Structure 1
Amino acid sequence: MINHVVLFKLKGYPEAEKEAVIRKVKSALEALKNKIEQVKHLEVGLNYELNAKSYDICLISHFESLSDLDVYRVHPEHLKVVELINETTAERAAVDFEF
């Protein structure tokens, strides 16, 4: 199995707007579980501190193989979410590892 972990830091939104953006991104990411069959597990965690200096959102997803992760990366539904991520985030960090 492959564990795909991605951290996102949003752009400098005002607090009220940032919370709405975080919820929108979370919802879009969570919807991928039902749209891409290669996704075996998916969870999205939000930093409890809205104005943290660290990352705002954490995506954890599991895939049977690197090939399945590659299918996910280019899937049209994933690419739609990537557009949203690119519009709303300032930083991204990712780690993929076998477990």
Structure 2
Amino acid sequence: MSLPLLANVAAQTIHPVAAQPLTHVVLFKLKDRSPDNLERTAAVLRSLDGTINVLRHIEVGVNVVPSARAYDVALITRFDSLADMEAYQVHPRHQEVLAFMREQTDTAAAVDYNTL
């Protein structure tokens, strides 16, 4: 039995529409989960706001319901296109924050999807 709807969703996920708005979500599990470090890390991520012209929206949240499967910090960013997200990835300010996050992070997971 064929599931064409699922096939279409999978194709869209694997091949983002370049000219369509894109949402980039990253979840972080930190090495140091102390309240001070969680807030400091969130502040560093929030410092990206207004520093990269292709970044249309940024939202940073610290998890409030701890559990074994939960991540500590969420970063949600939005871009006008895949090309804009790619420009963001190599921007010097993003690279600075990325270096900081690599030192802080135990595990990370990301998802990118076209925003409808």
Tell me how far 1:34 sits from its aligned partner. Answer: 1.0
Q: Give unpaired runs (5+ residues) of structure 1.
A: none
* Aligned counterpart in structure 1 of residue 94 of structure 2, from 78, 82, 88: 78
Q: Percent identity?
A: 38
Aligned length: 94
* CA distance in structure 2 between the partners assigned to 1:81 and 1:25 by the alignment: 10
Aligned to 2:25: 5
Structure 2 unaligned blocks of 5 or more: 1-20
Q: Post-superposition shift, 1:22?
A: 1.2
Q: TM-score, normalised by structure 1?
A: 0.88
| Corresponding position of 1:24 | 40
Q: Point out the structure with max Rg over C-alpha.
A: 2
Q: CA deviation at 1:28?
A: 1.2
Which letter does structure 2 place at the counterpart of 1:52?
S
Runs of 4+ in 1 over 2 A off after TM superposition: none
Give deviations 1:7-63, integer Å, cap 9, x for gaps.
Answer: 00001x3x6xx21211111111111121001110100011014x5321000001100
1:55 aligns with 2:75: no
Q: Which has the higher contact order (CA 8 A, sep 6+)?
A: 1
Between Structure 1 and Structure 2, the one with more strand by share is 1
Question: What is the RMSD computed on CA atoms of the aligned residues?
Answer: 1.2
